[in-house]
Structure 1
């Protein structure tokens, strides 16, 4: 009997603590779409991605053509010529892989561009979210864009427009 009373009191205390929390919701995709600098940054990154991808594809196609030529002529080549051609093909493939890493790798040009263009905007958004959380007493702010587990949220707790206003973009 005593355990059940203690259990009920514990459940009551937990439910009171849970109901006292305040939550808010933001949609970073929506916010970023309404910031012109973010749109411009995304366009620049898309253009750079296309340019870099085409450069990598050119090298990869050259390596593929070299391999096809090698296969077509391999029966007429000497062992030394075969080795030389194979080395050239491998070098071209390595060059393509290196170029791909240079552009698309974790320390690549696109990562640097993202760091330079997008990160400052995201930092500004974070600072405003932090400020509003402290101002309104939010215990947790969830991002609808990245939280795939959110099936439904009351639009009343979405503070995305308030964040845009604080950043100077009225919507």
Structure 2
């Protein structure tokens, strides 16, 4: 990996969007909607300003109670206007939501195309020069997320290292490549899978034994019940015979 030349590519998402007719048509519709929202927001704020102006002009003629009532009404209308602006143009407002919905289908097409082109041209990374995040494609062989995770876990146990052999083993683990980490992870997963299979087989056999034991126990209980019933029947028969004999003698 150290000797391999890394191949890069980049796209201009804004240029792509500007040249997709479907996006441009939908973008125009959204722009028209935005202009309507702006006009409505201006109407609301202008109404608040008019109410403030009228109150200032009439303040000297109003009682304290009327002034407070008018001020409360103005405050309420102003809050409503601000909330309207936030609902339309805030970070989670209608404009941002619809903008994302508008761009998402094109982005999905771009990401699919980028992945195909990167694989065909053996590109390792592809960036979007107009995006804040930047990278939109990366060859999986450069993903060191698992290595970072393993390092964090090992670092948490660093203070527990007590002898040279443990320290040496720790250093060897830190120097492993992504491929080696992946192979080890796969082996561990396979071992865990086999362990789960063994445990499942043991549990199955245990259930079978328990089931067989239960069947035998039921059979034993049935036989025992029959024997007791037969004994009770014979006992009753003997008692009836004795009673009949005594009646004859008497």
Give TM-score, length-normalised by structure 2: 0.49
Matched, 1:137 2:136: no
Of Structure 1 and Structure 2, the greater helix share is in 2
Work out which structure has the larger RCO, using CA pairs closer than 8 Å and 6 or more positions apart in sequence. Answer: 1
Per-residue deviation, 1:135: 2.6
Partner Cα separation in structure 2 for residue 135 and residue 79 of structure 1: 78
Partner Cα separation in structure 2 for residue 116 and residue 24 of structure 1: 26
**Aligned position for 1:92:** 77
Partner Cα separation in structure 2 for residue 115 and residue 144 of structure 1: 19
List structure 1 runs of 4+ shifted beyond 3 angstroms: none
Question: Aligned match of 2:34 in 42, 49, 54?
Answer: 49
Question: Aligned match of 1:80 in 65, 70, 95?
Answer: 65
Per-residue deviation, 1:126: 1.6
**Aligned position for 1:126:** 111
TM-superposition CA deviations, 1:57-85 (whole Å, max 9, x none): 10001001111111111111111101111
Alignment gaps of 5+ in structure 1: 1-12, 148-171
How many residues matched?
A: 133
**Aligned position for 1:108:** 93
State the Cα RMSD in Å. 2.0
Q: Determine if contact 1:59/1:96 at 8 Å carries over to the other structure.
A: yes
Partner Cα separation in structure 1 for residue 38 and residue 77 of structure 2: 16
TM-superposition CA deviations, 1:58-114 (whole Å, max 9, x none): 000100111111111111111110111101111111110111112112332212322
In our comparison, the structure showing a higher alpha carbon Rg is 2
Alignment gaps of 5+ in structure 2: 133-250
Partner Cα separation in structure 2 for residue 36 and residue 98 of structure 1: 34
Give TM-score, length-normalised by structure 1: 0.70
Partner Cα separation in structure 2 for residue 131 and residue 77 of structure 1: 74
Q: Determine if contact 1:41/1:118 at 8 Å carries over to the other structure.
A: no
Partner Cα separation in structure 2 for residue 123 and residue 105 of structure 1: 25
